[in-house]
Amino acid sequence: MSAEIVKNSVKGTDREWKSFAPMEEGFAFGRLQEYWVEEVCQLTYTRISPLCATPESIRGVLRQNSDSFWGVFERTADTHRLVAYHAQLMLNARGHDALKQRAFQFKQPDLAMLCNEGERPEAIYLWGVVAKGKLAKFKPMLAQALSHYAGIPHYATLSTEDGFKAGRVLGLRPVTPSDDQIGGLFIFKAGAAHQPSLQPKKEIRVVTVTTPEQLDQIRAIRAVVFMGEQDCPYAEEFDGNDYCATHILAFVNNEPAGAARIRYFQDFVKLERVAVLERFRGTGLVHKIADFAEEIVRRKGYKLLYGHAQKRLLGFWKERGFEEITPKANFVFSDHEYVELRKFLEPHPERLCLQSDPMILIRPEGQWDEAGVLEKSAERPATNPH
């Protein structure tokens, strides 16, 4: 069965619905996958104009960067439908210049002017929003998902009277005095775009796995992300290395949300199986997991971190200080192209060694600064029972 057929078989299913973030009763929020493009076009042509971007252009933008489209879905009977969406173009330096010079083609964007997956954009253009009657519910979740883009210049063209009024309320101002009209180019006031709402702060906690229940939670996360989203076969995902590794588990408000695995070699450590459930992406959780992993391996005395990254995520890992190792031809597995990366780590000032307190060395993995159960046992006198 082809990957395309498998992906389309997810559309509208209970499995896809559970991958979204719940909103009010019967509504959910999440990334738009490519198989929803027809519904995007139907909403666009009905609510905005039949002269907007073509399905091919929308697919190209989606393939370039998955942060480009976000949707609101409504549950109907045993399926769900798209009822609102937010679309944005992630502009690189060339795209930003073209926008300021009024030379950017909005109907059919030049993909060379857009950022690839994982790259930080120089500017963001609000390509389209269809959310009539749902914007108030939509905006807080969108702000949370895209909060890591706060501070980047955000632009929009206010092309209708309703849009012009709403844009001014949302903090948009004309780029030039002549833009202060319907159809003009506007920019968000500093700090006005994608600021998280005043909802209760999400509590993020990252731990090393020390119980069978936590290992089950790790496996569940990876099954959803790698087997569900990326069509990875079971035997390839659970490859026989889970019982010779350190596992990292991240929680958001005590809900299992992300995972990673560390395996140790003679003079380097391999970071792998980094996964975050879709509804928790955009919260910075992946950085918390990577930071925690680096602290663990530095504490254990390692100075070199190694990994395999899908080509589409190369920009993200380079931002974290990784560098690409000399490419190897045809480095492909589980249907994805990969690159080898490495990162040299600073020595940890409290790294574990033979001179460390022996009671610290028998504490649970990653919990070396907390007294363990064996230290409590030392309160009893030594009787050497047989």
The predicted model gives 340-364 an average pLDDT of 90
Set out the domains of the chain in order of their start, with CATH numbers. 3-188 (3.40.630.30), 204-349 (3.40.630.30)
242 pLDDT more than 50: yes
For 146-171, the pLDDT digits (tens) are: 888 888 999 998 877 777 777 766 67
The Cβ of residue 206 has, within 10 Å, a number of other Cβ atoms equal to 21
282 vs 117, residue with greater confidence:
117
The predicted model gives 56-61 an average pLDDT of 94
Give the C-alpha separation, 327 to 337, whole Å.
11
2 pLDDT more than 50: no
The mean pLDDT value of the chain amounts to 87
- Token digits for 248? 């990292």
* Ramachandran angles phi, psi of 153, nearest 5°: -60, 130
354 pLDDT more than 60: yes
For 317-340, the pLDDT digits (tens) are: 888 899 998 776 668 887 888 889
Residue 183: per-residue pLDDT: 86
191 pLDDT more than 80: no
370 vs 295, residue with greater confidence:
295
193 pLDDT more than 60: no
Instruction: Assess contact for 70 and 29: CB atoms under 8 A.
Output: yes
Residue 3: per-residue pLDDT: 42
Instruction: Assess contact for 128 and 44: CB atoms under 8 A.
Output: yes
Give the C-alpha separation, 333 to 228, whole Å.
17
Instruction: Assess contact for 273 and 240: CB atoms under 8 A.
Output: no
In whole angstroms, how far apart are CA 331 and each of 30, 41, 89, 186, 310? 31, 37, 30, 44, 10
The DSSP call for residue 121 is P
Which range has the worst mean pLDDT, 20-29, 347-356, 376-385?
A: 376-385
Amino acid present at 340:
E
8 pLDDT more than 70: no
Residue 360: per-residue pLDDT: 87
200 pLDDT more than 60: no
The predicted model gives 355-365 an average pLDDT of 88
H/E stretch holding 336 reads: strand 336-344
198 pLDDT more than 50: no
For 218-228, the pLDDT digits (tens) are: 999 999 999 99
- pLDDT confidence bin for 201, thresholds 50/70/90: low
Instruction: Assess contact for 339 and 327: CB atoms under 8 A.
Output: yes
Q: Give the percent of the chain with pLDDT over 90.
A: 48
57 pLDDT more than 90: yes
Residue 199: per-residue pLDDT: 52
197 vs 220, residue with greater confidence:
220
374 vs 219, residue with greater confidence:
219
The Cβ of residue 225 has, within 10 Å, a number of other Cβ atoms equal to 22
* Ramachandran angles phi, psi of 141, nearest 5°: -75, -35
